[in-house]
């Protein structure tokens, strides 16, 4: 897929090494409200509570062998808004399954975050993240050797993700960088020199003072899991062949 043909070139974050794209108005306010209602009204067992956030996994969590049991995503996560726009932009055109088959929903309250990490080899190296509810800053760090310390290290790049936006990362940004969200109630030090997608923001004027107070942000992370097992073969991945 060439960038010229993908519809993404105008959304490229040019100050990054390669392959990151930001669309500030991917969803309308009505579409955002619909998705937030579906997420927040999900049955409580759908939520997994961690120490610093809670999350939902659709259609299911991966097995210990990083395999996804084949099952469709719920319709509200793909149509009529998300999947047609992904297709129009060609985002998953070169992914093995041609579409996302897994969605992780994370809710971050003010003060919550996630330490720098990588998504791992279970997925095709492409992530499409839709942000809902409130803006947040994603920090990128180059990978280090195991014996190198990361204590007090500043992020190499920062991406401000507005509500209703889409961020697509692939290539070196996926394979050579860790990404994390700071545990803070206030994002600071924001500006055109520190935020690499500043020129693509929908509401850059909101951050001209260099900071904002965190709200509750919900992210929808769309990915393509490489290994998928049909339901009839599921037991061997779940330990049923012992």
Domains annotated for the chain, with CATH where assigned, are 22-145+153-230 (2.60.120.590)
d(CA 46, CA 24): 29
- Residue 152: the pLDDT is 61
Q: What is the pLDDT of residues 52-78, one digit of tens each?
A: 889 999 999 999 899 999 999 999 999
Closest CA to 60 of 49, 46, 78: 46
Pairing type for strands 67-69 and 227-229 reads parallel
Q: CA angle, corner 24, sides to 205 and 193, nearest 5?
A: 50
Closest CA to 120 of 138, 102, 137, 97: 102
d(CA 225, CA 99): 10
pTM more than 0.95: no
Q: How far is CA 84 from CA 10, 90, 144, 178, in A?
A: 19, 10, 38, 29
d(CA 120, CA 223): 11
Structure tokens at 4: 């010229």
Q: What is the pLDDT of residues 196-225, one digit of tens each?
A: 999 999 999 999 999 999 999 999 999 999
């Amino acid at each position: 897929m060439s960038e010229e043909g993908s519809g993404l070139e105008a959304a490229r974050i040019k100050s990054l090494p390669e392959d990151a794209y930001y669309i500030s108005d991917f969803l309308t306010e009505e579409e955002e409200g619909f998705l937030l209602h579906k997420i927040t009204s999900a049955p409580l067992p759908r939520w997994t509570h961690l120490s610093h956030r809670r999350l939902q996994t659709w259609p299911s969590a991966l097995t210990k062998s990083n395999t996804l049991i084949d099952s469709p995503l719920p319709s509200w996560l793909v149509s009529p808004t998300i999947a047609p726009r992904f297709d129009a932009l060609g985002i998953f055109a070169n992914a093995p399954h041609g579409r996302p088959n897994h969605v992780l929903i994370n809710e971050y309250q003010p003060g919550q975050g996630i330490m720098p990490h990588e998504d791992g080899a279970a997925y095709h190296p492409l992530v499409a993240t839709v942000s809902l509810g409130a803006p947040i800053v994603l920090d990128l760090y180059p990978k280090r050797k195991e014996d190198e310390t990361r204590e007090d290290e500043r992020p190499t790049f920062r991406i401000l993700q507005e509500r209703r936006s889409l961020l697509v990362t692939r290539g070196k940004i996926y394979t050579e960088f860790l990404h994390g969200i700071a545990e803070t109630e206030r994002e600071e030090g924001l500006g055109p020199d520190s935020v690499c997608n500043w020129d693509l923001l929908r509401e850059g004027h909101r951050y001209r003072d260099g900071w904002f107070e965190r709200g509750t942000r919900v992210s929808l992370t769309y990915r393509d899991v490489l290994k998928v097992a049909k339901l009839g073969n599921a037991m061997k991945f779940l330990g049923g062949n012992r």
